[in-house]
Amino acid sequence: MAIRRKVKYSKIEKKDEGPQEHSGYKVGQEVWCYRFPNKEISFGKIGKINIVQEVFNFYCEICGSFRIAKFEDIIEEPTDVMKRKLSRSKVKSTKIKL
């Protein structure tokens, strides 16, 4: 039987993932916004930033999926209704009954 050689894999270096800041918002910052295109309320951390189209992607903690939003649709001060919506969605996702 032939002897198999082990294949050596080289480490792949991470490439620059684009800009880290735009309009005063940084990657990893938590924001409230109206998601694109249906303008529903969302909350999550900024993932990647696209300066050309002035949008960013994020993981929405309210609906549980990746979304896109425009920088102009970021909400500076969320209302109490928005905060309750987030807390209700977290309760639903962990399946805790109050």
**pTM metric for this prediction:** 0.74
Give buried/exposed letters for 15-51 (b at 16+ CB in 10 A, else e).
Answer: eeeeeeebeeeebeeebbbbbbeeeebbbbebeebee
Distance, CA of 23 to CA of 65 (rounded, Å): 24
Question: For residue 97, what are its two tokens?
Answer: 């009954």
The 10s digit of each residue's pLDDT in 29-66 is: 999 999 999 999 999 999 999 999 999 999 999 988 99
Residue 65 covered by a domain: yes
- Lowest model confidence (mean pLDDT) among 7-11, 42-46, 93-97: 93-97
- Lowest model confidence (mean pLDDT) among 5-14, 17-26, 48-57, 80-89: 5-14
Full residue range of the structural domain in which residue 64 is found: 21-94
Indicate left, alpha or beta for 84 from its phi (over 0: left) and psi (-120 to 50: alpha): alpha
Q: Looking at residue 67, which CATH number applies to its domain?
A: 2.30.30.140
Domain count, the chain: 1
